[in-house]
Amino acid sequence: MQLVTELLGGNRRALARLITLVENGDPLKNEILQSLYPHTGKAYVIGITGAPGSGKSSLVDRLLQEMRGAGLTVGVVAVDPNSPFTGGAILGDRIRMQDHALDRGVFIRSMGTRGSLGGLSRATRETIQLLDAFGKDLILVETVGVGQSEVDIVKTADTTVVVLTPAGGDSVQTLKAGIMEIADIFVINKADLPGTERAAAEVSAMLDLKSCCDWRPPVVPAVSTRGEGIGALWQSVQEHREYLEKSGRLLEIRKERISRELTEQVEHLVKTMVWEKIKVRMTLGSLVEEIALRRRDPYSAARELLAQIEFPVP
């Protein structure tokens, strides 16, 4: 495919077009991802998650400067499950990253919700693959971490940075959402506001309770609007990466990810296949009527539907 060859040759427009095709579930999607797969696995993925308005985009903006300064190329995926917008457009002044848009070593893509959150996390993962194949050294994924489902998106990262703020009791909220468990690094952003030390102490106390693992997530205070603490954050990211690489953990977590993806892909295929068969053979409507009238039950009805399908063994 011409576009795939162009992407591999470093053509940014081909990259943008392929992301759109994949996002829209183009019929060629699997073929595209399949042919690019051998070129992936080189990029290092960093997830940045935190409550709305905690300063994730401002942090990404500053991190980009550090990373570019180190001579590395970067892809950014800004995922917002609450936004209906998707595509290349940067969402107004909420994202401060526009300055980097002219830098050819940086590629930024924002992504809004496409129906389900599950769909969004798949689209995010696929976009990461395209950026990886394109040759970006680092990929930053910004996600609004407010619920359990966003955790799925975060699971695609090698290093996960959780952004907290001193105000508003974010830390407690995040703890509830289960995001605490997946943090490799904590940032207490807006450290210019009161309560920073207390927030940092809270996180440390919580980490003390966790009797696990060789890596203790550092707690980094930052003022992203002024660029303070960004050097320390970048340092922590590199240290975490080094820890993962030296301990063999990186290979392990990447295998775990592949295992999840493979399972998900099989389930996705089975689901598609089954519903295609069921849809062509009968309508569900009458069955629903029957069940609503309590003449039937959904349990035996589901089994009967499936019993009518002859499963082809590929």
**Cβ 222 to ligand GTP shortest distance, Å:** 6
β-bridge partners, 186: 162, 219
Residue 73 touching Mg ion (CB under 5 A) = no
Candidate residues 32, 43, 57, 121; the one interacting with ligand GTP per rule CB under 6 A: 57
Nearer to ligand GTP, 18 or 63 (CB): 63
**Cβ 55 to ligand GTP shortest distance, Å:** 3
Residue 143 touching ligand GTP (CB under 6 A) = no
Of 15-54, binders to ligand GTP (CB under 6 A) are 50, 52-54
64 contacts: CB under 8 Å, gap ≥ 6: 74, 76, 97, 100, 106, 140
Rounded Cα distance between 209 and 305, Å, is 50
Residue 144 touching ligand GTP (CB under 6 A) = yes
* Contact region with ligand GTP (CB under 6 A), list: 3-11, 112-120, 184-192, 259-267: 184-192
Residue 83 touching ligand GTP (CB under 6 A) = no
Rounded Cα distance between 113 and 66, Å, is 30
Residue holding tokens 């980097």? 100
| Strand residues in 89-169 grouped as ranges (E) | 106-112, 138-144, 159-164
**What, of ligand GTP, Mg ion, none, does residue 225 touch, CB below 5 to 8 Å by kind?**
ligand GTP
Candidate residues 174, 189, 196, 236; the one interacting with ligand GTP per rule CB under 6 A: 189
* Contact region with Mg ion (CB under 5 A), list: 39-47, 51-59, 127-135, 237-245: 51-59
**What, of ligand GTP, Mg ion, none, does residue 224 touch, CB below 5 to 8 Å by kind?**
ligand GTP
Residue 121 touching Mg ion (CB under 5 A) = no
Q: By three-state DSSP, how is residue 115 classified? A: coil
DSSP 149-200: THHHHHTT-SEEEEEE-SGGGHHHHHHHHT-GGG-SEEEEE-TTSTTHHHHH
Q: Burial of 173 by CB count in 10 Å (0-12 exposed, 13-18 middle, 19+ buried)?
A: middle
**Cβ 146 to ligand GTP shortest distance, Å:** 9
Q: How far is CA 198 from CA 77, 166, 177, 219, in A?
A: 32, 8, 21, 12
Nearer to ligand GTP, 32 or 190 (CB): 190
Rounded Cα distance between 112 and 99, Å, is 21
Candidate residues 4, 50, 55, 57; the one interacting with Mg ion per rule CB under 5 A: 57
* Contact region with ligand GTP (CB under 6 A), list: 56-64, 103-111, 271-279, 289-297: 56-64
User: Which residues in this chain contact Mg ion in the complex, by CB under 5 A?
Assistant: 56-57
